[in-house]
Chains A and B, each alone.
Chain A
Amino acid sequence: AQKITQTQPGMFVQEKEAVTLDCTYDTSDPSYGLFWYKQPSSGEMIFLIYQGSYDQQNATEGRYSLNFQKARKSANLVISASQLGDSAMYFCAMRGVFSGGYNKLIFGAGTRLAVHP
Chain B
Amino acid sequence: EAQVTQNPRYLITVTGKKLTVTCSQNMNHEYMSWYRQDPGLGLRQIYYSMNVEVTDKGDVPEGYKVSRKEKRNFPLILESPSPNQTSLYFCASSLLGQGLNTEAFFGQGTRLTVV
Q: B-contacting residues of A (Cβ < 8 Å)?
A: 4, 6, 9, 31-33, 43-45, 47, 50, 52-53, 91, 93, 95-96, 100-110
Taking CB as reference atom, which chain B residue is nearest A100?
B48
Q: Given contacts A43-B108, A109-B40, is CB(A96)–CB(B100) below 8 Å?
A: yes
Contact, CB under 8 Å: B97 / A100: no
For B94, the chain A residues whose CB sits under 8 A away are 103
Number of A-B residue pairs having CB atoms within 8 Å of each other in the complex: 67
Closest 5 CB pairs of A and B: A33-B100, A107-B42, A45-B106, A107-B43, A43-B109
* B interface residue numbers (CB < 8 A to A): 31, 33, 35, 40-45, 48, 50, 56, 58, 88, 90, 92, 94, 96-97, 100-104, 106, 108-109, 111
Instruction: Determine if B109 and A44 form an interchain contact, defined as CB atoms under 8 angstroms apart.
Output: yes
**Contact of A91 with B43 in the complex, beta carbons under 8 Å:** yes
B48 neighbours in A (Cβ, 8 Å): 100-101, 103-104
Contacts of B44 in A (CB 8 A): 107
Cβ of B103: which chain A residues have Cβ within 8 Å of it?
Answer: 47
Which residues of B lie under 8 Å from residue A107 when comparing CB positions? Answer: 35, 42-44
In the complex, the answer to whether B96 meets A101 with C-beta atoms within 8 Å is yes
Neighbouring A residues of B102 by C-beta, 8 Å: 95, 103
User: Which chain A residues lie closer than 8 Å to B96 at the CB level?
Assistant: 101-103
A73 CA / B66 CA spacing, docked (Å): 35
Point out the residues of chain B lying under 8 angstroms from A105, CB to CB: 35, 43, 45, 92, 104
CB neighbours (8 Å) of A44 from chain B are 106, 108-109
Distance in angstroms from B109 CB to nearest chain A CB is: 4
Asked if residues B106 and A102 are in contact (CB atoms below 8 Å), the reply is: no
